[in-house]
Structure 1
Amino acid sequence: MSPPLRLHYLLAIFLAASATTANAHDEILKNWFNDPFIQVRSNVPDCPQPLGPLVNEEEARRESHWRTERGTTCWLAGQCSKPNSYLYDAPIAKSVATHFAAMPEFAQASSLWLTFQRRFVWVEGCSADPAIDAAALEAFVRAEPDVERVIVNVRAPGAAKAPYALAPPR
Protein backbone atom coordinates (compact mmCIF):
# COMPACT_ATOMS: atom_id res chain seq x y z
CA MET A 1 0.00 0.00 0.00
CA SER A 2 1.50 3.38 -0.97
CA PRO A 3 2.05 5.99 1.78
CA PRO A 4 -0.70 8.40 0.55
CA LEU A 5 -3.20 5.54 0.26
CA ARG A 6 -2.20 4.25 3.72
CA LEU A 7 -2.72 7.75 5.14
CA HIS A 8 -6.21 7.97 3.61
CA TYR A 9 -7.01 4.50 4.93
CA LEU A 10 -5.86 5.41 8.46
CA LEU A 11 -7.75 8.72 8.30
CA ALA A 12 -10.94 6.88 7.30
CA ILE A 13 -10.54 4.45 10.23
CA PHE A 14 -9.91 7.36 12.63
CA LEU A 15 -12.99 9.25 11.42
CA ALA A 16 -15.18 6.14 11.69
CA ALA A 17 -13.94 5.48 15.24
CA SER A 18 -14.51 9.13 16.19
CA ALA A 19 -18.08 9.02 14.86
CA THR A 20 -18.80 5.84 16.83
CA THR A 21 -17.39 7.38 20.03
CA ALA A 22 -19.37 10.59 19.51
CA ASN A 23 -22.59 8.60 19.02
CA ALA A 24 -21.97 6.61 22.21
CA HIS A 25 -21.51 9.83 24.19
CA ASP A 26 -24.63 11.39 22.65
CA GLU A 27 -26.73 8.30 23.35
CA ILE A 28 -29.74 8.78 25.58
CA LEU A 29 -29.54 7.28 29.05
CA LYS A 30 -32.61 5.44 30.32
CA ASN A 31 -33.74 3.37 33.25
CA TRP A 32 -34.06 0.29 30.99
CA PHE A 33 -34.91 -2.12 33.80
CA ASN A 34 -37.33 0.18 35.66
CA ASP A 35 -35.27 0.10 38.85
CA PRO A 36 -36.80 2.29 41.56
CA PHE A 37 -34.96 5.62 41.87
CA ILE A 38 -36.39 8.17 44.31
CA GLN A 39 -35.39 11.38 46.03
CA VAL A 40 -36.21 11.30 49.75
CA ARG A 41 -34.58 14.56 50.90
CA SER A 42 -33.99 17.86 49.06
CA ASN A 43 -32.59 20.45 51.46
CA VAL A 44 -29.11 20.98 49.96
CA PRO A 45 -29.84 23.07 46.85
CA ASP A 46 -26.47 22.67 45.10
CA CYS A 47 -26.35 18.88 45.45
CA PRO A 48 -25.81 17.17 42.08
CA GLN A 49 -28.28 14.44 41.17
CA PRO A 50 -26.77 10.94 40.97
CA LEU A 51 -26.84 8.93 37.78
CA GLY A 52 -28.87 6.26 39.55
CA PRO A 53 -30.04 3.41 37.30
CA LEU A 54 -29.58 5.30 34.02
CA VAL A 55 -27.56 3.48 31.35
CA ASN A 56 -27.30 3.58 27.58
CA GLU A 57 -28.72 0.83 25.38
CA GLU A 58 -25.39 -0.95 24.96
CA GLU A 59 -24.83 -1.09 28.73
CA ALA A 60 -28.39 -2.35 29.22
CA ARG A 61 -27.77 -5.13 26.72
CA ARG A 62 -24.54 -6.11 28.50
CA GLU A 63 -26.26 -6.06 31.90
CA SER A 64 -29.32 -8.11 30.91
CA HIS A 65 -27.66 -11.54 31.19
CA TRP A 66 -25.87 -10.60 34.39
CA ARG A 67 -29.10 -9.30 35.95
CA THR A 68 -30.94 -12.51 35.07
CA GLU A 69 -28.20 -14.60 36.61
CA ARG A 70 -27.82 -12.46 39.74
CA GLY A 71 -31.56 -12.13 40.20
CA THR A 72 -32.26 -15.87 40.18
CA THR A 73 -29.21 -16.88 42.24
CA CYS A 74 -30.94 -15.66 45.41
CA TRP A 75 -33.94 -17.94 44.78
CA LEU A 76 -31.84 -20.92 43.70
CA ALA A 77 -29.78 -20.60 46.89
CA GLY A 78 -32.96 -20.60 48.98
CA GLN A 79 -32.34 -17.05 50.23
CA CYS A 80 -35.41 -15.51 48.53
CA SER A 81 -39.03 -16.61 48.38
CA LYS A 82 -39.53 -14.74 45.10
CA PRO A 83 -38.02 -16.21 41.90
CA ASN A 84 -35.92 -13.10 41.24
CA SER A 85 -34.32 -10.72 43.74
CA TYR A 86 -35.24 -7.71 41.56
CA LEU A 87 -38.93 -8.43 42.33
CA TYR A 88 -38.30 -7.14 45.86
CA ASP A 89 -37.16 -3.69 44.74
CA ALA A 90 -40.50 -1.90 44.22
CA PRO A 91 -41.97 -2.97 47.59
CA ILE A 92 -38.70 -2.13 49.37
CA ALA A 93 -38.63 1.30 47.68
CA LYS A 94 -42.20 2.02 48.74
CA SER A 95 -41.47 0.97 52.32
CA VAL A 96 -38.22 2.98 52.55
CA ALA A 97 -39.91 6.07 51.06
CA THR A 98 -42.71 5.77 53.63
CA HIS A 99 -40.12 5.38 56.39
CA PHE A 100 -38.29 8.55 55.26
CA ALA A 101 -41.58 10.49 54.96
CA ALA A 102 -42.67 9.52 58.47
CA MET A 103 -39.36 10.15 60.22
CA PRO A 104 -37.56 13.46 60.69
CA GLU A 105 -34.10 11.89 60.51
CA PHE A 106 -31.80 13.45 57.94
CA ALA A 107 -34.45 16.02 56.92
CA GLN A 108 -32.78 19.26 57.96
CA ALA A 109 -29.61 19.42 55.93
CA SER A 110 -29.49 16.72 53.28
CA SER A 111 -30.43 15.90 49.72
CA LEU A 112 -30.65 12.15 49.19
CA TRP A 113 -31.55 9.86 46.31
CA LEU A 114 -32.04 6.12 46.58
CA THR A 115 -31.52 3.47 43.90
CA PHE A 116 -32.89 -0.05 44.43
CA GLN A 117 -31.45 -3.08 42.61
CA ARG A 118 -31.78 -6.74 43.68
CA ARG A 119 -32.38 -5.92 47.36
CA PHE A 120 -29.39 -3.53 47.41
CA VAL A 121 -30.03 0.15 48.18
CA TRP A 122 -27.65 2.92 47.12
CA VAL A 123 -28.00 6.13 49.16
CA GLU A 124 -26.39 9.02 47.28
CA GLY A 125 -26.44 12.75 47.70
CA CYS A 126 -25.20 15.48 50.01
CA SER A 127 -25.27 16.32 53.67
CA ALA A 128 -24.55 19.74 55.12
CA ASP A 129 -24.79 18.26 58.61
CA PRO A 130 -21.65 16.48 59.88
CA ALA A 131 -23.84 14.48 62.27
CA ILE A 132 -25.35 12.64 59.30
CA ASP A 133 -22.91 9.86 58.68
CA ALA A 134 -22.85 6.75 56.52
CA ALA A 135 -23.42 4.40 59.44
CA ALA A 136 -26.58 6.22 60.54
CA LEU A 137 -27.99 6.28 57.00
CA GLU A 138 -27.14 2.62 56.50
CA ALA A 139 -28.85 1.60 59.75
CA PHE A 140 -31.92 3.70 58.90
CA VAL A 141 -32.38 2.04 55.47
CA ARG A 142 -31.29 -1.45 56.57
CA ALA A 143 -34.13 -1.50 59.14
CA GLU A 144 -36.49 -2.23 56.24
CA PRO A 145 -37.39 -5.89 55.66
CA ASP A 146 -35.74 -7.68 52.72
CA VAL A 147 -32.91 -5.15 52.32
CA GLU A 148 -29.74 -7.17 51.78
CA ARG A 149 -27.13 -4.42 51.50
CA VAL A 150 -26.94 -0.62 51.80
CA ILE A 151 -24.22 1.38 50.04
CA VAL A 152 -23.88 5.00 51.17
CA ASN A 153 -22.09 7.58 48.99
CA VAL A 154 -22.79 11.01 50.44
CA ARG A 155 -20.79 14.18 49.79
CA ALA A 156 -19.69 15.82 53.01
CA PRO A 157 -19.71 19.58 53.62
CA GLY A 158 -16.91 21.31 51.71
CA ALA A 159 -16.14 18.31 49.49
CA ALA A 160 -15.32 19.36 45.96
CA LYS A 161 -16.43 16.20 44.15
CA ALA A 162 -19.44 13.96 44.54
CA PRO A 163 -18.51 10.35 45.45
CA TYR A 164 -20.97 8.99 42.88
CA ALA A 165 -21.61 9.14 39.15
CA LEU A 166 -23.66 12.20 38.15
CA ALA A 167 -26.80 12.42 36.07
CA PRO A 168 -26.33 14.36 32.83
CA PRO A 169 -27.37 18.02 32.98
CA ARG A 170 -30.95 18.68 31.97
Structure 2
Amino acid sequence: RYTAAEVRERAHVRAQHGGSCYRVGRCRLPNSYLYDAEIIPRVQQYIRQDGRFDNTSVWVLGERRLVTLMGCVQSPEQGRALEQAVGLVDDVMGVVNQLSVGAAPPAARNPPQRP
Protein backbone atom coordinates (compact mmCIF):
# COMPACT_ATOMS: atom_id res chain seq x y z
CA ARG A 1 0.00 0.00 0.00
CA TYR A 2 1.08 3.54 -0.71
CA THR A 3 0.74 6.53 1.56
CA ALA A 4 -1.16 9.58 0.30
CA ALA A 5 2.16 11.39 -0.17
CA GLU A 6 3.57 8.51 -2.24
CA VAL A 7 0.46 8.46 -4.44
CA ARG A 8 0.79 12.22 -5.09
CA GLU A 9 4.50 11.87 -5.89
CA ARG A 10 3.91 9.01 -8.34
CA ALA A 11 1.07 10.91 -10.01
CA HIS A 12 3.32 13.95 -10.42
CA VAL A 13 6.11 11.91 -12.02
CA ARG A 14 3.61 10.25 -14.38
CA ALA A 15 2.02 13.57 -15.37
CA GLN A 16 5.36 15.24 -16.00
CA HIS A 17 6.99 12.43 -17.99
CA GLY A 18 8.01 14.02 -21.27
CA GLY A 19 6.99 17.55 -20.26
CA SER A 20 10.45 19.09 -20.35
CA CYS A 21 11.08 17.56 -23.78
CA TYR A 22 7.94 19.29 -25.06
CA ARG A 23 8.77 22.63 -23.44
CA VAL A 24 12.14 22.84 -25.21
CA GLY A 25 10.66 21.79 -28.57
CA ARG A 26 12.16 18.30 -28.93
CA CYS A 27 8.81 16.50 -28.63
CA ARG A 28 5.55 17.21 -30.42
CA LEU A 29 3.27 16.09 -27.54
CA PRO A 30 3.42 17.40 -23.95
CA ASN A 31 3.37 14.01 -22.24
CA SER A 32 5.01 10.70 -23.18
CA TYR A 33 1.83 8.75 -22.44
CA LEU A 34 0.00 10.66 -25.18
CA TYR A 35 2.08 8.80 -27.79
CA ASP A 36 0.94 5.35 -26.63
CA ALA A 37 -2.23 5.08 -28.73
CA GLU A 38 -0.46 5.83 -32.01
CA ILE A 39 3.01 4.30 -31.66
CA ILE A 40 2.04 0.62 -31.41
CA PRO A 41 -0.13 0.56 -34.58
CA ARG A 42 2.70 2.27 -36.49
CA VAL A 43 5.25 -0.23 -35.20
CA GLN A 44 2.98 -3.15 -36.13
CA GLN A 45 2.46 -1.75 -39.63
CA TYR A 46 6.21 -1.21 -40.06
CA ILE A 47 6.96 -4.81 -39.06
CA ARG A 48 4.29 -6.19 -41.44
CA GLN A 49 5.50 -4.09 -44.38
CA ASP A 50 9.21 -4.74 -43.87
CA GLY A 51 9.13 -8.32 -45.18
CA ARG A 52 12.20 -9.51 -43.25
CA PHE A 53 10.04 -10.54 -40.31
CA ASP A 54 7.27 -12.51 -42.03
CA ASN A 55 8.50 -15.76 -40.45
CA THR A 56 8.30 -14.46 -36.88
CA SER A 57 5.65 -14.58 -34.19
CA VAL A 58 6.01 -11.24 -32.43
CA TRP A 59 3.77 -9.01 -30.40
CA VAL A 60 4.41 -5.43 -29.43
CA LEU A 61 3.70 -3.58 -26.21
CA GLY A 62 4.36 0.06 -25.50
CA GLU A 63 4.28 2.68 -22.81
CA ARG A 64 5.76 6.19 -22.66
CA ARG A 65 7.38 5.85 -26.11
CA LEU A 66 9.18 2.66 -25.07
CA VAL A 67 8.37 -0.39 -27.21
CA THR A 68 8.72 -3.94 -25.90
CA LEU A 69 9.10 -6.77 -28.42
CA MET A 70 8.04 -10.24 -27.29
CA GLY A 71 7.69 -13.52 -29.13
CA CYS A 72 9.82 -15.73 -31.37
CA VAL A 73 12.27 -15.02 -34.17
CA GLN A 74 14.33 -17.41 -36.30
CA SER A 75 17.81 -16.26 -35.21
CA PRO A 76 19.59 -13.85 -32.88
CA GLU A 77 20.49 -11.77 -35.94
CA GLN A 78 16.84 -11.47 -36.95
CA GLY A 79 15.97 -10.38 -33.41
CA ARG A 80 18.63 -7.67 -33.46
CA ALA A 81 17.49 -6.52 -36.92
CA LEU A 82 13.90 -6.27 -35.69
CA GLU A 83 14.99 -4.30 -32.62
CA GLN A 84 16.99 -1.89 -34.79
CA ALA A 85 14.14 -1.51 -37.30
CA VAL A 86 11.57 -0.69 -34.61
CA GLY A 87 13.94 1.89 -33.16
CA LEU A 88 13.69 3.79 -36.47
CA VAL A 89 9.91 4.31 -36.18
CA ASP A 90 9.06 7.95 -35.49
CA ASP A 91 8.54 8.83 -31.81
CA VAL A 92 9.98 5.55 -30.47
CA MET A 93 12.45 6.47 -27.70
CA GLY A 94 13.68 2.97 -26.95
CA VAL A 95 13.17 -0.72 -27.65
CA VAL A 96 13.17 -3.50 -25.06
CA ASN A 97 14.05 -6.78 -26.78
CA GLN A 98 12.44 -9.77 -25.05
CA LEU A 99 12.45 -11.95 -28.16
CA SER A 100 13.28 -15.65 -28.08
CA VAL A 101 14.93 -17.66 -30.83
CA GLY A 102 12.83 -20.53 -32.14
CA ALA A 103 9.70 -21.90 -30.57
CA ALA A 104 9.16 -24.52 -27.95
CA PRO A 105 7.92 -27.75 -29.50
CA PRO A 106 4.31 -28.60 -28.70
CA ALA A 107 3.85 -30.94 -25.78
CA ALA A 108 3.45 -34.51 -27.01
CA ARG A 109 0.17 -36.15 -26.16
CA ASN A 110 0.10 -39.81 -25.38
CA PRO A 111 -2.52 -41.62 -27.44
CA PRO A 112 -5.03 -43.62 -25.42
CA GLN A 113 -3.88 -47.16 -24.78
CA ARG A 114 -6.02 -50.03 -26.00
CA PRO A 115 -6.74 -52.72 -23.44
Query: TM-score scaled by structure 2?
Result: 0.66
State the Cα deviation string for residues 49-84 of structure 1 (Å, max 9, x = none). Answer: xxxxxxxxxxxx796443223242432454212111
Tell me how far apart the structure 1 counterparts of residues 90 and 57 of structure 2 sit (CA, whole Å).
Answer: 24
Is residue 86 of structure 1 aligned with residue 86 of structure 2?
no
TM-score (norm 1): 0.48
Using the alignment, how far apart are the partners of 1:101 and 1:156 within structure 2?
A: 19
Give SS of 2:17's match: helix
Is contact 2:16-2:31 (8 Å) kept? Answer: no
In 1, Cα distance between equivalents of 2:11 and 2:71: 27
Superposition pairs of residues 14-93 of structure 1, within 5 angstroms:
64-93=11-40
Aligned match of 1:44: none
Aligned to 2:90: 145
The answer to whether the Cα contact below 8 Å between 2:66 and 2:93 also exists between their aligned partners in 1 is yes
Q: Which runs of 4+ in 1 moved over 6 A?
A: none
Tell me, in whole angstroms, the C-alpha distance in 2 between the residues paired with 1:137 and 1:94: 16
Q: Which whole-Å CA distance do the structure 1 matches of 2:83 and 2:91 have between them?
A: 14
- Give the letter for the 1:154 counterpart: L
Pick aligned residue for 1:132 from 72, 75, 78: 78
Q: Is residue 2:76 matched to residue 1:112?
A: no
Give the distance between the partners of 1:66 and 1:112, measured in 2 at CA.
Answer: 31
Q: Hey, what's the Cα distance between the residues in 1 that align with 2:93 and 2:68?
A: 11
Structure with higher Rg: it is 1
Structure 1: tracts of 5 or more residues without a match: 1-60, 160-170
Specify the code of the residue in structure 1 equivalent to 2:32: S
- RMSD across aligned C-alpha pairs, in angstroms? 2.5
Pairwise CA distance, 1:158 = 7.3
TM-aligned CA distance change 1:158 to 1:83, over 3 Å: closer
Conserved 8 A contact 2:67-2:95: yes
Flag the 1:98–1:63 CA change in 2: closer, same or farther, 3 A.
farther
Whether contact under 8 Å (1:75, 1:85) holds in the other structure is no
